[in-house]
Amino acid sequence: MNNLNSFLEAMRILLEAIFVKNGNTDKILNEVKKKRQRAEQLGLPNLINDIYNHVKCFSSNSDYMPSIISSCIRIDSKIIFELNNRQYTFNCDEGKSIRGYDQEYINTNIELIFNDNKIFALNITKDIIRDKYLGYLESNPHFTINAFKEGNWVKDFRELKKQIDIASKIRLEKQAEKQKMDYIKKLKQLKSDFDIK
């Protein structure tokens, strides 16, 4: 019992030295809060999540790649890409399914790296809902910002998102036009097959 009390007293002293006597603790935590709020004001959680979900497709299909991305490769859980002549890396620990009491959720961690420095990190959690008719459904994501260093990269990523949106719109328009042409072709074939004038 004496050893346990000695250990607990040593831990109390250590924690007091770290947290109580260090006047920087509140300052650091307040600064983290401000930076998280700034990242949220800039819309970075949704922006980075959306871009990550597109960039992971670029490496396998260059048709989806906007012109401001000059290269993109995937190596295991890393996606390395060049945007406006700057090399970025997404490190991702994607989609761990975790079961809690009577619920299940997916947990994903994304880190954005530039010049060997983590400039943004995001934890994404989605609840999994089981429906007997629809199967598994995911809830809207909940974001936790784990790192944020503001810089020119924010502007680059906003421009990338604009180009992704434009490319997606063009792709959808092409698909709609192709479907329309296929439908017209089918109608012509039906007219011919059933001798309709």
Q: Summarize pLDDT for 135-187 with one digit per residue, the tens.
A: 777 778 899 999 999 999 999 999 999 999 998 888 889 989 999 999 989 98
Instruction: Identify whether residues 77 and 171 lie together within a single domain.
Output: yes
Instruction: Identify whether residues 14 and 75 lie together within a single domain.
Output: no
For residue 108, give the 3-state DSSP assignment: strand
Q: Which two tokens stand for residue 108?
A: 């994903």
The count of domains in the chain is 2
Q: Is 116 exposed, middle or buried (0-12, 13-18, 19+ CB in 10 A)?
A: exposed
Instruction: Identify whether residues 7 and 99 lie together within a single domain.
Output: no
What is d(CA 82, CA 68) in angstroms, rounded to the nearest whole number? 8
Q: Which residues of 82-104 are buried (b: 16+ CB within 10 A; e: fewer)?
A: ebeeeebbbbbeeeeeeeeeeee
Instruction: Identify whether residues 162 and 125 lie together within a single domain.
Output: yes
Report pTM: 0.76
Residues 48 and 110: beta-carbon distance below 8 Å:
yes
Highest mean pLDDT of the ranges 13-17, 19-23, 35-39, 185-189: 35-39
**Is residue 132 predicted with pLDDT exceeding 90?**
no
What is d(CA 164, CA 151) in angstroms, rounded to the nearest whole number? 21
Instruction: Identify whether residues 53 and 117 lie together within a single domain.
Output: yes
What is d(CA 80, CA 176) in angstroms, rounded to the nearest whole number? 32
pLDDT of residue 66: 83
Instruction: Identify whether residues 72 and 109 lie together within a single domain.
Output: yes
What is d(CA 40, CA 148) in angstroms, rounded to the nearest whole number? 10
Residue 146 sits in which domain range? 43-193
Instruction: Identify whether residues 2 and 89 lie together within a single domain.
Output: no
Instruction: Identify whether residues 4 and 82 lie together within a single domain.
Output: no
Instruction: Identify whether residues 107 and 54 lie together within a single domain.
Output: yes
Residues 105 and 126: beta-carbon distance below 8 Å:
yes
Instruction: Identify whether residues 16 and 106 lie together within a single domain.
Output: no
For residue 169, give the 3-state DSSP assignment: helix
